[in-house]
Amino acid sequence: MSLVHLANVCSHLQNASKARLGLTSIPSTNQLLTLSLALQSSGFLSSVTRAGLTPPLNTNITYEPEPVTQENVSSRRLWLGLKYWDNRPVLSEMSMVSKPTKRVWMDVESLGRIVRGREAGFVRGLTRPGECLFVSTDRGVMEARECVEKRVGGMLLCRVL
């Protein structure tokens, strides 16, 4: 799976927060969808909705997205609601750890070190308050702390602050 889309999304979300957008869209892929849902459950995003090229009219709970079909799959986008608190974006920094040309995998022991703020395998620890690292595992995309809790390792995707 290519990481090029992810790299673009990292930059795009940083730019969108700096521009104080309330809603933005990213390409709709399974990898980005699972990452967005992980970001949402960590509290970085207010909503994740799949819709067409125009933003969904209503992003509340009762909204039912159009089913994805052969005809409309190419025009699907993921619409992400961005959060702001105390006049600051909740998601302010997002950067890749694995790069398209250099993937980084990590086992639980090393992830544990990173979560505790130590360096492991050329990856800096999570030392800044509220910093999160998202990991793609065979149980889906998870936050690094959750990975350590569930004893699974995986490929490091991006760090978010």
Partner 1 sequence: MGLVSKPPARDLFKRYDAEEKAALAKRYTPEHMEAIEAAEEAIDPDDLNERGVIRSDWGSLNYLDDFSQMQPTIDKRIKREGPVDPKERLMTPEEYAQHHKDYFMKIMDENDVPVDFDRDDPEQLKKLRPNRLDEFKSWDEVPDMIGSNGPLKSESMLAPGVPRDFESAVDDPENARKAEEDEDPRDPDGRYALLMKQTGLTMDEIGSYKIKVLVHHRVVNQTRLGKIQSQYILAIAGNGNGRLGLGQAKGQEMEDTQANARIQAIRNMQPVPRYEERTIFGEVEAKVSAVEVKLMSRPPGFGLRCQHLIFEMARAAGIQDLAARVPRSRNKMNTVKAAYEALMKQRIPDEIARGRGKKLVDVRKVYYGGRV
Using CA atoms, how far residue 145 sits from 85, 109, 131, 142, 151, in Å, is: 23, 12, 11, 8, 10
Is residue 122 near partner 1 by the rule CB under 8 A?
no
List, as one string, the DSSP characters of 30-58. Answer: HHHHHHHHHHHHTTSEEEEEEE-SSPPS-
CB of 128 to partner 1, least distance (A): 5
Instruction: Tell me how far the alpha carbon of residue 6 is from its chain's centroid.
Output: 8
R_g of the chain, CA atoms, integer Å: 16
Nearer to partner 1 by Cβ, of 71 and 86: the residue is 86
Strand partners, 69: none
CB of 90 to partner 1, least distance (A): 5
Can you tell me the distance from the alpha carbon of 139 to that of 41, in angstroms, rounded to the nearest whole number? 15
Is residue 134 near partner 1 by the rule CB under 8 A?
no
Which amino acid is residue 41, in one-letter code? S
CB of 140 to partner 1, least distance (A): 20
Which of residues 72, 105, 127, 151 is near partner 1 by CB under 8 A? 127
Positions in 31-50 near partner 1 (CB under 8 A) = 42-44
CB of 85 to partner 1, least distance (A): 3
Stretch of 26-34, 95-103, 124-132, 138-146 contacting partner 1, by CB under 8 A: 124-132
The binding site for partner 1 (CB under 8 A) comprises 42-44, 83, 85-86, 88, 90, 127-130
